[in-house]
Structure formats: C-alpha cells, structure tokens
Amino acid sequence: MPEQFQTEEQVQQYLARIFPSQQFEAMIPFEHGWVCRPKLTPEEIARGQDLGLGSYVVNRQTGVVTVHTSLHPFTIGEMYDEAIRTGQPVQGLQIYPPQLRTSIQRTHEDSQTIQYHVRTESLTQPPEPTTEFQLTINKNTFTFQPTGSTAARAVSWADWRRNQDGTWPELGTFEE
C-alpha cells in the first residue's frame, strides 16, 4: 500500500528524500494533494529565479509528484482536485516516481560528431514498449539526429555530463 500523506511533516519528509538539497515552503493542503513551492534563497530571488517559479503537487494517496506552472498555488490545488474528481488527467508533469529509464552508450566519436546507442525502458505498469535508436550529435552546433523529445533529453543529459569534466560521457543512465 502506498504511503499516505495527511500531514505537512509527512510531505516535508517525503520531499526531502526526493529533493535532498531543496527546501519547501507554502505547503498547502487540498482534498487530493499538497501544493508545495520551493523555498528560494535571497540570492536566488535577487537573480530573478522567483519569476515564473512553478509548484509541485504531492498526491495524498499515491505519493506521485507532479510539477506545475507558475499559477497561484490555490489555483493549482483547485485544478488538481477537479481533475481527480472528474477522472481527467492532471495538468502537471509527473517527475516522481520516474516513468522512464534512458541508457546511453557511446558507439563512435570523431572531431565533429559523437554517436550514442540510446535505449529507453518504461518503468510504468503496465510497461510501454522499450525503444532503441542511434543518436548522432554535432559537437559544434548541438544539432542531433533523430530529432524528438527522447533524443533531446538524451542530448541534454550528455551535454550536462560533458560540462562536469569536459568530456562526453562514454555511458550513463538517467530516469525521468
């Protein structure tokens, strides 16, 4: 049976496991979930990171965490509750638990391009079909083939890893 989140303390502890370096404020309870806003430092606010800041919703019964637009938290809570009551999908993007595992392995690299074998595995029940494809990234322009959201996320992850130590990763896995 999934955890149930009836108190602010339960939600705070749960979010601390998911986002260990993030603090939350404005924990607002609604019928079916908790709307939670990240707490920013004064420096982050001075840099304007509070503009367009989204919110997270933790489902009271399932613990599924979705990220939502920068609407007012009360509006998000009302829309979330309405979607659950009417059997409609919630408008937020599920970020926890992960629904997809993507693995990449470098297959070729030269001065202009890098190629990866990309494999995605569904973590949902029932699972979606596994996909595999060859991804080619132009190192100078960051254009890539094939195009599409899965390829774009793989490129973004590989570039993030490259920025860590200056080298393109040989292999890796990420979940979303």
| CB of 134 closer than 8 Å to CB of 145 | no
DSSP type of residue 40: P
81 within 8 A of 30, measured Cβ to Cβ = yes
Q: Report phi then psi at 10, rounded to 5.
A: -60, -40
- Residue 158, exposed/middle/buried by CB under 10 A (0-12, 13-18, 19+)? buried
Is pLDDT at 26 greater than 90 in this prediction?
no
> In terms of DSSP H, where are the helices of 1-148?
8-18, 42-46, 73-86
**What would the pLDDT profile of 85-117 be if each residue is shown by its tens digit?**
999 999 998 999 989 999 999 999 999 999 999
Question: What ranges do the domains of the chain cover?
Answer: 8-96, 100-175
pLDDT value at position 3?
Answer: 60
Average pLDDT over residues 34-43: 92
Pairing of strands 131-138, 113-122: antiparallel
> pLDDT tens, 139-170?
999 999 999 989 999 999 999 999 999 999 99
Predicted TM-score (pTM) of this structure: 0.73
In the predicted structure, residue 2 carries a pLDDT above the cut 80: no
